[in-house]
Structure 1
Amino acid sequence: MKNQSNTLSGRRQRSTNIAAFVFLLPVILLLTVFIFYPIVDSFMISTYKWNGIASERTFVGISNWTKLIGDRDFWFAFRNNIVIMIMSIIIQIPIGLAEATFIEFVGKKATICKILWFIPMLMSSVAIGFLFTYALAANGGMISAVSQLFGGGNIDLLGNKNTALMTVIFVIAWQFIPFYMVYAMAGYTSISEDVFEASLIDGATKSQYFWKIALPLLMPTLKSAAILSMVGSLKYFDLIYVMTGGGPGTVTELMATYMYKNAFAQFNMGYGSAVAAGMFILITLLSLVTMRLINGKKEDE
């Protein structure tokens, strides 16, 4: 009987393994074709001098990587990514949390606010880029129109080197704040209503409940949101490329726009791949370090 039981158990395990393999195979193939292979291929192409079109490629070894390490334009673009990352975390997560808290405390009466605040997330980045490009235009734009209404002149926020980056950061925040609002709302659902009712019975105000009870319980959610914001900020491309193209000059240049220009505008696919591979390394390292700092060391169970 024991051998028969072992045989049945072994058959069930093999059947489970086969089923798992069958269901995972499409995912593995998709990840291999669209993620793992492009990453490996980018590292390989970075060792060549190639225009991306010709069949012949010239092997240059680590020449592109040497150039990348000393490329001030790339590191300036990386600095812009860091600025956007920091400002995104500072602006988007607190405002998203504030909106979620308002909706949580007001209840069903805030449904209209929930709908209106979520609208930016329903729009594509390209559409938002074009919308704000026209709205912020020096001639006929919304800001210029208001300025002229009060007797001022045209204001070119996107064409001014001193304001272009912060203007783009504002537009990015406008688009993604709803995401963190929904993320915080999901965090609120994990807090039992009994906790809120108990705090009110004990005499706590809503403000005290938020700061003393809800916020500490939401910290794991906010930490995850910060990591998502950080990773997303390091790979921004479409909205900024539509609005400024990295300009004026290189004021709003990011790693992704710099990579695109080298690879597809200047047809320097080898160096563009080196930039892409450099992005991959930097984003991975920053993500690992940030996760380590935010989550800290796990206590031994």
Structure 2
Amino acid sequence: MAPVRRRSGRARLIQKAAPAVFLAPAIILLAVFLLYPLVYSFRLSLLDWNGLGNTAQSIGLDNWLRLLDDSVFWHSAWNNILLAVFSVVIQLPIAAALAVILDEASKGSRLLKIFYFLPLLMSSVALGVLFKNIFDPNFGPINSILSEMGLYNWTQDWLGDPNFALGSVIAVVCWQNIPFYMVLFLAALSSFPREVSEAARLDGASGGTIFWKLKLPHLQGTVRTAVLLAVIGSMRYFDLIYVMTGGGPENASEVMATYMYRMVFNSFELGYGSTVASAMFIIIMVIAVVSLRISKRFETEV
């Protein structure tokens, strides 16, 4: 009986250790490429260092005290919040509407799906260069069309005017990311039972009633995920904004990521740039938790 017990004990030990063995590579990768840089960033935030040579000096919390009085940083954080709000308010309703239309369509729906998905296939840098030319005040097609229509007062320096730069960038960001959420909603709608909507139509329910009463509750979990992804993605957005405006003019379209980049690579203030990055992490975590709780509360009320 002893060998049998020993075998069963060894089998239980192997069974308990198997998940840890399979998870170990992923945990190691996360620790090396995520946890360690995060901790190191907080460590660098306590230094005065230009990133070159052994010139780093420990200055305690001076960088954090400077951050509290940095109006440019808080302005960039506010721009990130505006971007997150408009991403949720604009992207998700349009994406949901397109998903419902494509889900109901039969002829040509595959071609339309490919057409609507094209913006997401383009790189953000290429889109930034493209729309920088589109918004060009002298040669861009937007001002040219407005001029041809006789709307000369509507022509603007879209990316060079502080009043229009952030709005122009937000419009492009929303246009680029709508296809992602459209696909997300399409995937959720594909699991919605067809017979339920057909039965509702036989009972005289309109398309709007079917969406609000049946399909929207079915999409609640997907909507919550989409809200969380939109908020987190907006809080760390960088590439397209940097290409289009570089955070200008006069910091009008500055976001936290572009400000961090300028501090590190233009001003060579690695310590303060790491402080901005660490503050970004804290702000994103807080906003992500708050948005998750709000969306969860909304889900229980519907």
| TM-score tier after normalising by the smaller chain length | over 0.9
Contact 2:263/2:272 (8 A) holds in 1: yes
What is aligned with 1:241? 242
Once the 2 structures are TM-superposed, how far is the Cα of residue 15 of structure 1 from its aligned partner? 2.5
Distance 1:250 1:34 in 2: 31
| Matching residue of 1:172 | 173
Superimposed CA distance per residue, residues 234-259 of structure 1 (whole angstroms, 9 cap, x where no aligned partner) = 00000000000001110000011111
Equivalence for 2:277: 276
Give the C-alpha shift of residue 108 in structure 1.
Answer: 4.4
Letter in 2 for 1:131: L
Give distance in 2, aligned partners of 1:298 and 1:182.
21
What is the CA distance between 1:291 and its match in structure 2?
1.1
Instruction: Tell me how far apart the structure 2 counterparts of residues 188 and 298 of structure 1 sit (CA, whole Å).
Output: 17
Task: Tell me how far 1:54 sits from its aligned partner.
Answer: 1.8
What is the CA–CA distance in structure 1 between the aligned matches of 2:183 and 2:3, rounded to whole Å?
Answer: 53
Aligned to 1:136: 135
- Once residues 111 and 52 of structure 1 are traced to their aligned partners in structure 2, the CA distance between those partners, rounded to angstroms, is 51
> What is aligned with 1:160?
161
1:239 & 1:250 partners in 2: Cα distance?
15
Q: Could you tell me which residue of structure 1 aligns to residue 14 of structure 2?
A: 15
Q: Secondary structure at the match of 1:296?
A: helix
1:28-70: CA deviation from partner (whole Å, max 9, x where unpaired):
2211111100100000000000001122210000000011111
Counterpart position of 2:37? 38
In structure 1, C-alpha distance between the alignment counterparts of 2:240 and 2:279, rounded to whole Å: 22
Cα distance per residue 1:211-267 (max 9 Å; x no partner) = 211112212211110111001110000000000000111000001111111111100
SS at match of 2:106: helix
1:51 aligns with 2:50: yes
CA distance in structure 2 between the aligned counterparts of 1:21 and 1:256, rounded to whole angstroms = 36
- CA displacement 1:123-169 (0-9 Å, x = unmatched): 11111111101111112111122123234555321111111111101
Runs of 5+ unmatched residues, structure 2? none
Matched with 2:122 is 123
The aligned counterpart of 1:230 is 231
- Note if contact 2:227-2:291 (Cα within 8 Å) is conserved in structure 1: no
- Give the conservation status (yes or no) of the 8 Å contact 1:121–1:179: yes
Secondary structure in 1 aligned to 2:108?
A: helix
Q: Identify if the C-alpha distance between structure 1 residues 193 and 297 changes in structure 2 by more than 3 Å, giving closer, same or farther.
A: closer
Alignment CA distance shift 1:195-1:12 (3 Å): farther
1:238 maps to a residue whose letter is D
Q: Name the Cα RMSD after superposition.
A: 1.9
Consecutive aligned runs of 4 or more in structure 1 exceeding 6 Å deviation: none
CA 1:194–1:11: 2 relative to 1, 3 Å: farther
Question: How many pairs does the alignment contain?
Answer: 298
Residues 108, 9 of structure 1: CA spacing in aligned structure 2 closer, same or farther, 3 A cutoff? farther
Cα deviation 1:79-117 (Å, max 9, x = unaligned): 000111101100000000000000111134322211100
Q: Distance in 1 between matches of 2:285 and 2:82?
A: 18
Corresponding letter in the other structure for 1:69? L
Q: TM-score scaled to structure 2, two decimals? A: 0.93
Q: 1:58/1:157 Cα in 2 relative to 1: closer, same or farther (>3 Å)?
A: same
In structure 2, give the amino acid aligned to 1:201.
L
1:145 alignment counterpart: 144
Shift of 1:195: 1.4
Q: Please name the residue that 2:99 is paired with.
A: 100
Q: 1:254-293 alignment to 2 at 5 Å?
A: 254-293=255-294
- The secondary structure found in structure 2 opposite 1:204 is coil
The 1:277/1:199 distance shift into structure 2, 3 A limit, reads same
Q: Which moved more, 1:234-243 or 1:205-214?
A: 205-214
For residues 228 and 58 of structure 2, the distance between their equivalents in structure 1, rounded to whole angstroms, comes to 38
Distance 1:227 1:139, change over 3 A: same
